[in-house]
Amino acid sequence: MPATRVLCVDDEPSIRMTMPLILQAHGFDAVVVGTVAEALAEIAAHPFDVLMTDLHIGQQGDGYTVASAMRRTHPDCINFILTGYPAIETALRTIASQVDEILLKPADPPKMVAALERRLRERKPAGYIQTKRLSNILYDHKDEICQRFIVKMKDNPELAALPLSDEERLDHTKITLTELVKELESAPHEASPLPAAAKTGEERQRQEYPIALLAVNARLLQGVIYDIIHENLLSINLSFLMPDLKRLNEILSLQNEEIFKKFLEAEKRAA
């Protein structure tokens, strides 16, 4: 019977040196690489029974990319993510349904091997994993995006100083997200400003919003949207991710341009 094949991905030389020794001592066939590119090449070229990847390989969250590629290419492979940062509960809860187990670094070798052997005993065929388009991810997390956006605005001293209620701070954000989802789901066409943008610009002028803070608002909202995308990367249909992201960027840029335009027009009328 062939040995269980394990792909280990970690950018720390010491771990790449010790991990295969530990696994080989327990009868596993270990392949160890240190970059995402090397990991993707191995996944494309060879079958694996187990993946053990660091959460951050070079860049933050690179482990998501490796796990997603393994899940798609070898759906029966057991995926472990190792992280030295236990305080990322939100992200870990998000990926828990797609990653089989999360281990904290430095991993205790006996416990790590025991977890690996247990998962192998319990393994069931993974079958087809349904993924979502970017528009579905944004639709499913509209409320969370709004909640996080409020927190981000209140964490910014200049925005927090504005005498506005939470409802006024959000303004037309929920409507904007709904329109954004519809635009992403529509057939490809030249992007145009979302209808809510005009209302947002006019409302911000009425609220006597400092114009410089419109850019801060846009940056914070865009950051929250991309955080949500990053945390749900394993659930996204990667075949459409790049064109969807390109279109998202175009829509957000036009949205911000329209907000500034309508703000200045409303300011000129009020003068």
Per-residue HEC secondary structure of the chain comes to CCCCEEEEECCCHHHHHHHHHHHHHCCCEEEEECCHHHHHHHHHHCCCCEEEEECCECECCHHHHHHHHHHHHCCCCEEEEEECCCCCHHHHHHHCCCCCEEEECCCCHHHHHHHHHHHHHHCCCCCCCCCECHHHHHHHCHHHHHHHHHHHHHHCHHHHCCCCCHHHHHCCHHHHHHHHHHHHHCCCCCCCCCHHHHHHHHHHHHCCCCHHHHHHHHHHHHHHHHHHHHHCHHHECHHHHHHHHHHHHHHHHHHHHHHHHHHHHHHHHHC
pLDDT for residue 59: 76
Residues of the chain scoring pLDDT < 70: 1, 85-98, 124-130, 234
The pairing of strands 29-33 and 101-104 is: unpaired
Helix axes 173-185, 238-270, angle to 10 degrees: 140
Q: Which amino acid is at 27?
A: G
pLDDT for residue 6: 93
pLDDT for residue 49: 92
What is the maximum span of the chain, computed from C-alpha positions, in angstroms?
82
pLDDT for residue 155: 94
pLDDT for residue 270: 85
- Cα–Cα distance for residue pair 9/70, rounded to 1 Å: 12
- Cα–Cα distance for residue pair 204/258, rounded to 1 Å: 12
CA 141, chain centre distance (Å): 12
> In this predicted model, what pLDDT tens digit does every residue of 99-119 receive, in sequence order?
777 787 777 888 889 988 888
| Integer CA distances (angstroms), 75 to 3, 26, 128, 199, in order | 19, 24, 8, 46
Task: Provide the CATH topology of domain 5-122.
Answer: Rossmann fold (3.40.50)
pLDDT for residue 66: 86
Q: Where are the domains of the chain?
A: 5-122, 134-270
Q: Give the angle 204-209-211 at the CA atoms, nearest 5°.
A: 100
- The yes/no answer on whether domain 134-270 falls in CATH 1.10.490 is yes
